[in-house]
Structure 1
Amino acid sequence: MRTLFTLSLSLILFQASYAQQWYKGNLHTHSYWSDGDDFPEMIMDWYKSHGYHFVGLSDHNILAEGEKWKLIPNSYAHRQGFQKYLDKYGEEWVEYEKDADERIRVRLKTLAQYRPLFEEEGKFLVIQSEEVTDQFEDKHIHMNVTNVQSLIEPQHGNSVTEVMQNNINAINRQRQESRVPMFPHINHPNFIWSITVDDMIPLSGERFFEVYNGHPMVNNYGDSTRLGMEKIWDILITNYLRDQKPVMYGLATDDAHSYHIYGGDQSNPGRGWVMVKAEELSAEALIKALEAGDFYSTTGVELESIVQTDNRLSVKVKKEGGINYRIQFWGSKKGASRKDMGVLLQEVEGLEASYQLQEDELYVRAKIISTKPKINPFQEGDFEVAWTQPVVR
């Protein structure tokens, strides 16, 4: 009987571990449906061919439905992009026209039309998304909604915080009414220095923000007088926990707009993504895992495992030949002042490390820094890194 019980338990544990796997995805990118510079089909093909499992194509204040024509910019890169599109999909698929000046207008394919070309069960998923793009005075306030079911118009407000809260409420209201899982996340707070950490601290119903965004104008690292994304993250985590709110999670995204010309001054694909450990490749399973913190964000570093048990965070890096790694553990003490929110608790050279939360510490998160230079980086000199989500005491 003992042997049978042991075998049954082993089978259950094996099945539980087998049921979950890592899925690579980008939750923020753009196409010709708003201010991106390529067709959705070409963008989906890029991500799928580069090993991604899911993409949220999140154009500004629009969903890919109905009739929309795009006038192709009269530049060599854009006209070559159109020709590549036409060569790949053919005259039967591509609906276009030319005027007397040889300008090209193309009817964009809807999500319902292009989705079947790419989706494969267990291999690739397209998630309908939107970047709700709002403003207060000269502040640009952008929030993504992943797995949106119908268009959400910008809600506006009388302050930066109120604009964000009104949009969060509209997103969460659609979730409740539709009974379909979806979630908001705050995009690039430092884009044109629009959103401060104090604007975000009072929010409720928000669990995610971008700790890394690949667009060259988002000021991920702050400057001499303004906070970078990681410091903002630590202040948010600390204040949310003190206010007894759910912890804030950090996403890495591309925010890609540019698919023809590559370089540091372009917002290109492939700069940042999330790795989600989920039961299956579906919007429901991915969102469940994201909201449970079962993911990490990365610009290239891959992890073998992340284990959270008894207030301990353990990380194991997937080794790449010739590359070295530093594993840093960051956190805040319960009574920390703002300048001491988010301090380096421990640093380990190697592929594995663990950190046990102390009684006076609120949380711990890990940052893994490699010696591998990032290809086409956000900023010259960047190395590939990864961030785990915080473990809370």
Structure 2
Amino acid sequence: MKKLYFFLIPALFFACSSQPEMAEEEPTVWFKGNTHAHTVVCGHADTSPDSVALWYLERDYNFLILSEHNNFIDPDSVNLPAGHRTDFILVPGEEVTGRQAIHTTGMNVQHYVEGQPSYPYDASLSADDPNLPPETKTSVIQQHTDSVLHAGGLPILNHPNFVSGAQVGDIRPVKRLHLFELYNGHPAVYNFGNEQHIAVEAKWDSLLTSGMLILGVSSDDAHQFQTWSEDVSNPGRGWVMVDSEGELTPDAITQAMARGNFYATNGVMLAEVHHSADRYVIQIDTNWTRQAMESPYIIGKKTTEGTTGFKVEFFGDGGALLHTSTDLQIDFPIDYEGGYVRGKVSFTRQLADGQFETFYAWTQPRFLDERAGMLDNNEVWSPNHDHDHEHGHDH
């Protein structure tokens, strides 16, 4: 695949920053990963588990979840080339698939998790259909969440803007759910909103403002590796960058994400993200972003008007904009009495046809209430596989 675009990017935005240097800290070791990818096992993707894993291995990812619809792929069953680089792992997982377009990734589950026989999704079915048992979207999400946790995994609610999806009122009552897909690279997932859905980012702010502890994940939800087009679900469109303090194991990566030590992106790359009760620090990695922009796989948000370059924004309760900057290094003082502050970094380039294309990195909220203690005390998820040692079966 090769996009036939020429990009007009002012060099100054990829030049070394002239901003004052921050205090010296040990550079963060970021691990790049995708939590959502499919293979022929699901019946509607086009590539084997071995070859899907190889695609990510060859493109400098550090971890991958083969998250099949109601199927568990044991990582030990996947064949990787002999002598492959050691900084790549497969994290066990499954896309637990339910009715009403509710799908949940079970990250690091230890075995198969029972879903509901509903795929391919039949858009004609609804909660009022007499052929369906009484249920709500909330109850489906809750069942997925509890089942994933029981299997030793971390639940991630997938693509809330897919088909009828999940609205804020469906998600808010769910207990023990703390991650969802803020960005999903599938073309049928309307991350930025459509006639049925508000933008997922607006849903995130509503959930955060209501008091929910929920973190934002980015994935590509890849299905097609043989056909390349913006209209099919190709790989390489969304991923997470995880700070697990240099430890690359399924438990360490999962624990780091459960604590919010990661950012979500579809192209913008960061060198550092730190926050405390009174400061929020973001440093953009211009070289790494330039490399990401050279990828033929990424797709940004296209608009007819825009301003090229980087922008950093901080948001608080209700999605209120607290601060905007075009600096490449930001040390933002948190002087705010709300419940959270989160960051978003955007990069906009102009295409040869005159359109503008914007890519993002979303950093996790710094909570300013009791939710901060839940993250600090590992109350979202901790490795505990003692009750379920057996590897699950394919189903």
The two structures have a TM-score, normalised by structure 1, of: 0.73
- CA offsets per residue over residues 267-318 of structure 1, 9 Å max, x none? 0000000000113110111111111111001111111101112332110101
Q: 1:383 aligns with which of 324, 343, 358?
A: 358
Q: 2:270 aligns with which of 300, 303, 308?
A: 303
Instruction: Give 1:117 deviation, angstroms.
Output: 3.5
Tell me the amino acid that sits aligned with residue 283 of structure 1. Answer: P
Question: Map of 1:197-236 to 2, 5 A cutoff?
Answer: 197-223=168-194, 226-236=197-207
Q: State the secondary structure of the residue aligned to 1:150.
A: coil
Question: Map of 1:5-154 to 2, 5 A cutoff?
Answer: 17=26, 21-34=29-42, 35-64=44-73, 111-115=75-79, 117=81, 122-135=86-99, 139-154=100-115
Q: State the secondary structure of the residue aligned to 1:369.
A: strand
Instruction: Give 1:36 deviation, angstroms.
Output: 1.6
Whichever structure has more helix as a proportion of its residues is 1
Instruction: Give 1:224 deviation, angstroms.
Output: 5.0
Instruction: Give 1:358 deviation, angstroms.
Output: 2.9
Instruction: Give 1:237 deviation, angstroms.
Output: 1.1
Count of aligned residue pairs for this structure pair: 306
Return the alpha-carbon distance in structure 2 between the equivalents of residues 192 and 49 of structure 1.
33
Instruction: Determine which structure has more spread, i.e. the larger CA radius of gyration.
Output: 1
Return the alpha-carbon distance in structure 1 between the equivalents of residues 83 and 363 of structure 2.
28
Checking the alignment, whether the CA contact within 8 Å between 2:73 and 2:94 is kept in structure 1 is: no
Q: 1:290 aligns with which of 257, 260, 264?
A: 257
**Does 2:319 correspond to 1:353?**
no
Q: State the secondary structure of the residue aligned to 2:32.
A: strand
- CA offsets per residue over residues 79-114 of structure 1, 9 Å max, x none? xxxxxxxxxxxxxxxxxxxxxxxxxxxxxxxx4332
- CA offsets per residue over residues 196-253 of structure 1, 9 Å max, x none? 1110011111110000000001111112563111000111111135xxxxx2100000
Instruction: Give 1:21 deviation, angstroms.
Output: 1.6
Checking the alignment, whether the CA contact within 8 Å between 1:122 and 1:281 is kept in structure 2 is: no
Query: Bigger relative contact order, structure 1 or 2, given CA contacts below 8 A and separation 6+?
Result: 2
Q: State the secondary structure of the residue aligned to 2:234.
A: coil
Q: Which residue of 2 aligns with 1:91?
A: none
Checking the alignment, whether the CA contact within 8 Å between 2:277 and 2:366 is kept in structure 1 is: no
Checking the alignment, whether the CA contact within 8 Å between 2:54 and 2:80 is kept in structure 1 is: no
- Identity of matched residues, %: 33
Tell me the amino acid that sits aligned with residue 272 of structure 1. Answer: G
Q: 2:279 aligns with which of 302, 305, 312?
A: 312
Return the alpha-carbon distance in structure 2 between the equivalents of residues 25 and 223 of structure 1.
28
Instruction: Give 1:384 deviation, angstroms.
Output: 2.0
Q: State the secondary structure of the residue aligned to 1:192.
A: coil
Checking the alignment, whether the CA contact within 8 Å between 1:328 and 1:344 is kept in structure 2 is: yes
Q: 1:265 aligns with which of 228, 231, 235?
A: 231
Checking the alignment, whether the CA contact within 8 Å between 2:218 and 2:264 is kept in structure 1 is: yes
Change (3 A) 1:272 1:201: same
Checking the alignment, whether the CA contact within 8 Å between 1:142 and 1:186 is kept in structure 2 is: yes
The two structures have a TM-score, normalised by structure 2, of: 0.73
- CA offsets per residue over residues 145-189 of structure 1, 9 Å max, x none? 0111111112686111011101111111222xxxxxx20110001
Return the alpha-carbon distance in structure 1 between the equivalents of residues 252 and 46 of structure 2.
31
**Does 2:151 correspond to 1:166?**
no
Instruction: Give 1:22 deviation, angstroms.
Output: 0.7
CA RMSD of aligned residues (A): 2.4
Instruction: Give 1:121 deviation, angstroms.
Output: 7.2
- CA offsets per residue over residues 128-155 of structure 1, 9 Å max, x none? 11000100xxx21100101111111126
Change (3 A) 1:261 1:121: closer
Whichever structure has more strand as a proportion of its residues is 1
Checking the alignment, whether the CA contact within 8 Å between 1:357 and 1:363 is kept in structure 2 is: no
Q: State the secondary structure of the residue aligned to 1:315.
A: strand
Return the alpha-carbon distance in structure 2 between the equivalents of residues 63 and 173 of structure 1.
15
Q: State the secondary structure of the residue aligned to 1:215.
A: coil
Return the alpha-carbon distance in structure 2 between the equivalents of residues 118 and 360 of structure 1.
54
Q: 1:326 aligns with which of 289, 292, 311?
A: 311
Change (3 A) 1:54 1:119: farther
Return the alpha-carbon distance in structure 1 between the equivalents of residues 349 and 98 of structure 2.
37
Q: What stretches of structure 2 of length at least 5 have no aligned partner?
A: 1-23, 117-132, 294-307, 369-395
Change (3 A) 1:260 1:225: closer
- CA offsets per residue over residues 328-350 of structure 1, 9 Å max, x none? 11111xxxxxxxx1121111012
Return the alpha-carbon distance in structure 2 between the equivalents of residues 373 and 49 of structure 1.
29
Return the alpha-carbon distance in structure 1 between the equivalents of residues 157 and 359 of structure 2.
23
Q: State the secondary structure of the residue aligned to 1:387.
A: strand
Q: Which residue of 2 aligns with 1:79?
A: none
Q: What stretches of structure 1 of length at least 5 have no aligned partner?
A: 1-13, 66-110, 176-181, 242-246, 333-340, 375-379
Change (3 A) 1:157 1:392: farther
Checking the alignment, whether the CA contact within 8 Å between 2:348 and 2:356 is kept in structure 1 is: no
